[in-house]
Amino acid sequence: MNNKIQKYRGKYIAILMLLGIYSCNIDTSQKLPNRNWQLTWSDEFNGASGDSPDAAKWSYDIGTGANGWGNRELEYYTNRPKNVSMDGNGNLLITALKENYLSATYTSARIKTKGILEQKYGRFEARLKTPFGQGLWPAFWMLGSNVDTATWPLCGEIDIMELRGQTPNIIQSTIHGPGYSGNDGISATNGLFNSRYDNQFHVFAVEWDENKLDFFVDDYLFKRIQKSDVESKGQWVFDNPFFLILNVAVGGNFVGDPNTLTPFPQTMTVDYVRVYK
C-alpha cells in the first residue's frame, strides 16, 4: 500500500472510530476457546408460503406501546400473515406496513420464545436481512425470562442486533440492566464498507457464559463485554434463562419517526434462528 493511500485510510478510520462506526476486533490476547456447540433449538422456517410461525416455537406480542413495551413506537403488532409469515422459500418475513389499523397508522409483528425456549448461556444466532428506511427499527434480541416478576431492567436485556433503518450499514449490539439501561446501556456498533445489511443475509450472534458476552457478525467478534465491565456500572443480571424476540418496530426513541421518503412495505427476512449449548 503506498504512503498516500495508507495515510488517507488512517485518517478515514480515525474519523469512523470517532463516530462509533468502525469496529475493531478484540485484543488478540483474548483468544476464543475451542467451542463444541451442540444445537438445542432451531427454526429453519421451511413452511409453505403464507404459513404462520410454528406455534410450538413462537408466540406473539399483540398491540401497541400502551401494552407495556413503550419506546414511542408507532406500530400495532399483529399475528396476521400479512405481517408475519413464511415465504415458501425457507424464510420468515416480518413486514411493516403503512395502514390504518385500530389505534395505529402502521402495523408490524413481534414474535418471541417466552415460555417455550428459555436458556441460560450458549450461542444464539440468526441469519437475516434487514429492512431499511428512516424510522424502521429491526431487532433480534433477548429478555430475561423473569421479566414479569423482576421487571425491566432488572430482568436483563441482550440486544444481539438492532439497526436504524436510516443507517442500513451499521448495526448495534447492547446489554441493559440495573445501572446501565436505556441510553446508558453497554453497547458497540459494527459497520460495513461499501455494503448494507439490507442487501444480503448476515449471521448475527451472541455467545454468552457466566463471565462475558461476545457479539459477532458473520463470525467476526466485534465486541466482548466482561462481567467486570458490567459490575463497574451496575448489577450483572445474566445468570438466568433468557428468551428470544424478533420484531420490526416503526418509529421510537432509537430511530425517530418515518418520513415521506420512507418506503413501505418493509420486511425483515429471516433464514433461520439457532440456539446452542
Residues 75, 118, 125, 162: which is the catalytic one? Answer: 162
**Would the pLDDT of 4 be above 90?**
no
| Arithmetic mean of pLDDT, 140-145 | 98
Distance from C-alpha of 163 to C-alpha of 169, rounded to nearest angstrom: 9
Residues 157, 207, 210, 231: which is the catalytic one? Answer: 157
| Arithmetic mean of pLDDT, 179-196 | 96
Give residue-wise pLDDT tens across range 192-241: 999 999 999 999 999 999 999 999 999 999 999 999 999 999 999 999 99
Residue 173 Cα distances to 31, 76, 213, angstroms: 21, 25, 11
Give residue-wise pLDDT tens across range 79-115: 999 999 999 999 999 999 999 999 899 999 999 999 9
Q: Note the Cα 78 to chain centre separation in Å.
A: 19
**Would the pLDDT of 18 be above 60?**
no
- In the annotation, is 157 catalytic? yes
Name the pLDDT band for 32 (thresholds 50, 70, 90).
low
- In the annotation, is 162 catalytic? yes
Of 63-67, 104-108, 126-130, 132-136, minimum mean pLDDT range: 63-67
Q: Do 96 and 136 contact (CB within 8 A), yes or no?
A: yes
Distance from C-alpha of 254 to C-alpha of 146, rounded to nearest angstrom: 25
Which helix (H) or strand (E) segment is 203 a member of?
A: strand 202-208
